[in-house]
Structure 1
Amino acid sequence: MTRAASSMRRFGSVAPRGHGIVLPAYHPSARGGRSIFPSRVFAPDELNRLLKSGHNSRKIGKTVAKGPRRGWPIYTLTLEERASCPRECREWLRCYGNNMQAAERIEHGPDLEARLLIEMSELQERHPAGFMVRLHVLGDFYSPEYVATWSEALRRFPALHVFGFTARDPREPIGRAVAMLAADFGWQRAAIRFSGQPHENRASRVIAAEAAITDAILCPAQTGATDCCATCALCWHSERSIAFRAH
């Protein structure tokens, strides 16, 4: 099933079928920890914007359509899959980035972090009532210093609210730093779920297309119950774990 583009999204979405591209373990990108589309990886200074409107995403949407944040714009950040991710990620070989040739991935590191703070300062001025950032369409938190950049941003820019997922182990240094974002700023400002964890709250998991799920909420945008993240708002309103059908 394909859902057409809408005022929230430039591109229509494709329902998950559970048979996206899966790399063999010996594939150079799997072994080297890189995207299979190296020509789509850019240095931060090669792109006009790092934080892009959710209107450009098939799944996100450009503006929150319900709840107390209605009218807030949504922005997305896309890093290089695998290069910024833990090898323990359960989706290492079947990352949905394998199916996203058009996506512009941004190289991670100090240049990214410095540029992000500049862009978020501009967004704070433009949207003082509030704005959302989805972390990360592809990629992950790659160092404690990078997590600290988001902590600094949340302190400096009160309009900033983030939501997203991490495959980091919450018991390891990067994962602990991510968990502290919600502890320090509250779930309403830093709703980051731990992917692949069995917890009933603040986690997410990928399930087979035909699997039943009882201890998490199945993503409404995948079932057709809503158009996209912008019209759903579940990921940043509810702490219940979310399940996603395999792409």
Structure 2
Amino acid sequence: MTAASALRRFPTIKPAGRGVVLSSLHPAYRSGRTMFPSRVFDPDEVERILKDGHQSRKIGKTVQKGRLKDAPIFTLTLEERATCERSCSAWGICYGNGMQAAERIVAGAALEAALWDELAALQAAHPRGFLVRLHVLGDFYSLTYVALWMRALAAFPALHVFGFTARTDAIGEAVRELADANWDRFAIRVSGREDPRRASVIRDAGAIGVVCPAQTGATDCCATCALCWQSDISITFRRH
């Protein structure tokens, strides 16, 4: 475990490669839900849906280098499995299985309305740039939701996004098209794709591209690394 810092409220727990693995008979596995249903909230039940990156063990509060230096970072957490495609290679090993404290926001129209309002407020507060991590848990869940992010990129010029999707369906194709057209501002990698660019994989050994520096201890957190949104080289993650 590395120490907490001014960028992160909580210390990072280094991946041990033995996270919580669900049996295919587990109710959460079978129903496509989180293991912690009491930690799922409607948007109006939480103070805000976009959380300060300072609250994350790995993300960090403010970008420390690169073209987005000094930009504040925010995160969005949805419900794992409930918003994901069942073909996801991490369906049973999702690191959400070990995140009981996380506030997962219910997907849908109410989320999208609240999200738009919060993005507008962040644009006003941080016109020089802000960064959103999609999604700490969960995934893009509809074409309407993907279209919202396309509109947001046009409406809020300070907005920048990074994250991952395991979608292989029409939703995933729409995400990839949006990323390909706007990589400098919408750096969404395809999870589980064996590709040297714009992808990510989970492996206990070997690597495609580079192993996440925040996991190896080569850097403190995402905020001090910037690789995920600064480069299109693929990233390998060790199992949590």
TM-score (ref. length: structure 1): 0.96
Which ranges of structure 2 fall in alignment gaps of 5 or more residues?
none
Which residue is 1:212 aligned to?
A: 206
Deviations 1:103-132 (A, max 9, x none): 000000011011100000000000000000
Distance across 2 between alignment mates of 1:15 and 1:118: 35
Deviations 1:70-100 (A, max 9, x none): 1000000000000000100100001000000
Which residue is 2:220 aligned to?
A: 227
Distance across 1 between alignment mates of 2:148 and 2:133: 15
Q: Give runs of aligned pairs for residues 1-247 of structure 1, distance below 5 A.
A: 2-169=1-168, 172-184=169-181, 186-208=182-204, 211-213=205-207, 215-247=208-240
TM-fit CA distance, 1:179: 1.1
TM-fit CA distance, 1:168: 0.5
TM-score (ref. length: structure 2): 0.99
Deviations 1:204-230 (A, max 9, x none): 00001xx122x3110000110000000
Deviations 1:33-72 (A, max 9, x none): 0000000000011011000110000000000000121100
TM-fit CA distance, 1:12: 0.2
Distance across 1 between alignment mates of 2:67 and 2:179: 19
- Is the partner of 2:164 in helix, strand or coil? strand
Identity %: 61
- Is the partner of 2:187 in helix, strand or coil? strand
Letter in 1 for 2:201: R
Distance across 1 between alignment mates of 2:101 and 2:180: 36
Deviations 1:157-215 (A, max 9, x none): 0000000000001xx2101110121233x21100000000011100000001xx122x3
Instruction: Compute the RMSD of aligned alpha carbons.
Output: 0.7
Distance across 2 between alignment mates of 1:223 and 1:28: 33
- Runs of 4 or more above 3 Å deviation: none
Distance across 1 between alignment mates of 2:43 and 2:166: 23
Higher mean C-alpha deviation, range 217-226 or range 172-181: 172-181
- Is the partner of 2:74 in helix, strand or coil? strand
- Is the partner of 2:54 in helix, strand or coil? helix
Deviations 1:3-58 (A, max 9, x none): 01001000001110011110100100000000000000000110110001100000
Distance across 2 between alignment mates of 1:138 and 1:82: 9
Distance across 2 between alignment mates of 1:246 and 1:103: 19
- Is the partner of 1:30 in helix, strand or coil? helix
Distance across 1 between alignment mates of 2:186 and 2:225: 17
